[in-house]
Structure 1
């Protein structure tokens, strides 16, 4: 692996809400979720006060801070003027606090029976349909057509805040929603938003959910010490992963589905083998700004808010309550780079690499440089193999033990 990043992530741009709005308990001002579309052409930003802004990527100069215009980074493109006919930014008024965002895509239109046929243009029949799901404070999920900015579905059923969302990546438009009502719900948007399953079993609020890239597994985590893995084929519980000592608040699968990471208030990120339930590695978040008034000889630890895998699967990004963004290599126990982030709540990698977005408690979004790497041939081969073979299938191969350990991430690169 050849790494080309600097030791400290560079702040490339910052987005702020268009106008300051007074805080009130009905609207809230935090950015609880940010997301890039899978094709990298859209960025969604929950900017507080019930508003989601959809921005075409790359960004216009008008969205950027002055220092971003001077940034020299080959992965971050800035345009002066959008070409004629190019997508326009959109404002989605959700009417409720927005806790979660997720993009989905389809090759065929969905939800058009909600609209008069005369409103559909012929050109809309020859495009990929990008959808954005928004999880709301009242338990509803609103699903929008990204291209037009109009609402397609208003899914109801949850009895409390919808805290996280995850689309399947196989173009089937299966949407999983996780709620504070202690359940997960699975919806089929190709069947007009039909509810196909309710998953129960958590005894606390469900904070997060993630569907594996191969669409075989679903991870969910709640205000309890364990993580649950479910089958996306039978919608039954596969196993519980136990190892955290406090609420698990964020989870993500590696791009090849071979690894799962979970982040907890107990100050640790744990990397698991989701097929065997084995704990492979633990990343401890030692506070980088300890409280001097209560300083001791023991290191102070920092609770986690968010964790995610980089697109090539070699790095992790995490946000902690000590107000720092950390980027980790899967090979090392200490972070490879650190940057100060004020009250960070969520993070997401650009799908083509090189950029990381963080959402903050004040409603701002920041874009940072992230590892831009040339993956080794060994890792590319491993990633390709693991997209098709489970851990058990790898262990059954007639190959040397060292190769099995490498393919199952038991050894370093």
Structure 2
């Protein structure tokens, strides 16, 4: 599987895989998919569900984004040359979809007609992932790289100016994932990143200062991060599965590993 996405407040979820197919499943249903979405020519690398759960946006290495409705019908299709999609994220309460690309850019798409609404200034490296804040005002992207070149996360303004706000530099290999952490975790706005260098870092969102680094040596590249609850993070790794990380305030703001699945 390449991607997975859940329908809000529902038992249904979507999966995308290398067979170019997207499937819809029911958590409490049979082991067969409820629905299939077929329309991409290459591996599907992006999945995003609209905030009202009525539409699904998919992206692929075939340079194409497709907008689907719940019946499995394709309603819009858009293709941009060399736009190999790496990740998709729907903006809360808005008709916009954020998209990361191998062409080193982040695009903002208007789902009403599936048109590009904005292209953020190109970075120096492939953009591997994107994430939108809960209020929809800011977004994060992260960069591939090696030896400290690239290997950063970037905070962007999604509102009128749409400028770059801050960069978070300190990883030594590709940054594969970035998340906004809940306000309940700290007295300041914070974000977290995971990297192929086996490290999870917590950053001050406003200043770019690295507040804490957790090394998960022996886990191989860290590929994905997800907020579990107000005090937990889930981190996926190549070699050791999924790490459950708990926020630790014993000496400032930190993380500790409490379980591995």
TM-score, with length taken from structure 1: 0.56
Shift of 1:263: 0.8
Cα distance in 1 for residues equivalent to 2:182 and 2:62 = 32
> Over aligned residue pairs, what C-alpha RMSD do you find?
2.0
Q: Which residue of 1 aligns with 2:31?
A: 63
- Determine which structure has greater relative contact order: mean sequence separation of CA pairs < 8 Å that are 6+ residues apart, divided by chain length: 1
Match of 2:147 in 1: none
Distance in 2, matches of 1:90 and 1:97, equals: 18
* Match among 132, 155, 179 for residue 229 of structure 1: 155
| Residue in structure 1 matched with residue 68 of structure 2 by the alignment | 144
In the alignment, what sits opposite 2:116? 195
Q: Does 1:304 align with 2:230?
A: no
Deviations 1:349-401 (A, max 9, x none): xxxxxxxxxxxxxxxxxxxxxxxxxxxxxxxxxxxxxxxxxxxxxxxxxxxxx
Q: Does 1:38 align with 2:8?
A: yes
**In the aligned structure 2, how far is the partner of 1:132 from the partner of 1:261?**
27
Matched, 1:155 2:101: no
**Secondary structure of 2:257's partner?**
coil
Residues in 1 aligned to 2:110 and 2:182: alpha-carbon distance in whole angstroms: 23
Aligned ranges 1:2-401 → 2 under 5 Å: 31-56=1-26, 58-60=27-29, 62-63=30-31, 89-95=34-40, 96-106=42-52, 129-145=53-69, 147-170=70-93, 172-190=94-112, 192-223=113-144, 224-233=150-159, 234-256=161-183, 258-287=189-218, 302-310=220-228, 312-331=229-248, 333-339=255-261
How far did residue 193 of structure 1 move? 2.0
Distance in 2 between the 1:207 and 1:156 partners? 19
Q: Within 2, Cα distance between the matches of 1:256 and 1:167?
A: 21
1:213·1:256 contact (CA, 8 Å) conserved in 2?
no
The separation in 1 between residues aligned to 2:201 and 2:239, in whole angstroms, is: 19
Across the two proteins, how many residue pairs are aligned to each other?
245
Task: From the two aligned structures, give the one with the greater helix fraction.
Answer: 1
Which stretch of structure 1 is more off in the superposition, 155-164 or 229-238?
155-164
Q: Compared with structure 1, are the counterparts of its residues 131 and 254 closer, same or farther at alpha carbon in structure 2 (3 Å cutoff)? A: farther
Structure 1: segments with no counterpart, 5+ residues: 1-30, 65-87, 107-128, 288-300, 340-413
Distance 1:214 1:245 in 2: 31
Three-state SS of the structure 2 residue aligned to 1:204 is coil
Alignment gaps of 5+ in structure 2: 145-149, 249-253
* TM-score of the pair, normalised by structure 2: 0.87
Rounded to whole Å, the distance in 2 between the matches of 1:54 and 1:279 is 39
